[in-house]
Amino acid sequence: MEMKKIACIGAGSMAEAIISGLVTQQVINPADIFVTNKTNDERFTYLTEQYGITTTRSLPDLLAGANIVVLAVKPKDILATMQSIKEYIREDMLFISVVAGVHTSSLEGIAAKPVAIIRAMPNTSAAVGKSATAISANTHTTESQLMTAITLFETVGSVARVEETQLDAVTGLSGSGPAYIYYLVEALEKSAESIGLDAVTAKQLILQTLTGAAEMLQKSPKTPAVLRKEVTSPGGTTEAGLKALQAHQVQEAFISCVQEATAQSKRMGNQISKELAKYVVPH
């Protein structure tokens, strides 16, 4: 499926990351990316100057000829958004939603047409082209449309295809995942201060350690457990440190963290689905 014209509803950080990826990798002519938001004119000016895209608040101009519609609004705004564009929706459009917690069935029901919808869960690392994005498609999505969505999200990182029922788990793991890593780095920075390292040196050492470990995990065929054991000499410093982590049940804490984030994603999604259900039109 060719990317003829992309209509992006919402102009926040995730929308910008996608726009940046598409423009940087020359996937589509920037002028064929049309963007709208509710009221922020400064954002319009910035996006136009930075990426050369087209901004408009005219829904007919936004959606005329668009074969891809990116929904990048807050969950609380999705109903009003879908209702405002309903009369312009065509069955040949591909909808790509990055709206957390909103099921494809809800979007399809509000649209009241059998449109192709792909739901995606990127993470904030999309801003630097390193997102871990998972996508799922509804039954009206063709293989060609799916490939187009994968191409779109590959401009901001890696893409995995999952069942929609798995997206809550994806949200708990990789969607919220960057925050867990930042939390870990905060702890390492505090530990560096406590053992007498200056902040600048500590940050350099921590970040290189993180990127090096990630590179090892990507390039080595060995499991994380094997790599860990290879660094851990009996009676050595690493073993002493790991024993302290085990005593504080850090691994169990991370498991609980991901499980609770996943459960919260389910709760939020179910709540949004209930709120939207009354507006769903059978077709």
Q: What is the pLDDT of residues 185-202, one digit of tens each?
A: 999 999 999 999 999 999
- Indicate the residue type of 204: Q
Please count the structural domains in the chain.
2
Is residue 254 in a domain?
Answer: no
Whether residues 32 and 126 share a domain: the answer is yes
Q: Which domain holds residue 207?
A: 176-248
Q: Are residues 43 and 128 in the same domain?
A: yes
Domain of residue 236, CATH code: 1.10.3730.10
pLDDT category at 283 given cuts 50, 70, 90 is low
Predicted confidence at residue 280, as pLDDT, reads 80
Residue 150 lies in a domain: yes
Mean pLDDT of the chain: 95
Q: Which of 65, 45, 279, 261 is nearest to 168 (CA)?
A: 261
Same domain, residue pair 38 and 130? yes
Does residue 242 form part of some domain? yes
Distance CA 119, CA 164 (A): 8
* Alpha-carbon gap, residue 182 to 180, rounded angstroms: 5
| 206 pLDDT above the threshold of 70 | yes
Q: What is the pLDDT, as a whole number, of residue 281?
A: 73
pTM over 0.85: yes
**Helical spans, DSSP H, in 196-249:** 199-219, 224-231, 237-247
Give the integer Cα–Cα distance in Å for 70 and 18.
10
Whether the Cβ atoms of residue 116 and residue 94 lie closer than 8 Å to each other: yes
Say how far apart CA 262 and CA 121 lie, in whole Å: 13
Together in a domain, 113 and 206:
no
Q: List phi, psi (to 5°) of 162.
A: -135, 170
> In this model, does residue 1 exceed pLDDT 80?
no
Gap between the Cα atoms of 227 and 113, Å rounded: 51
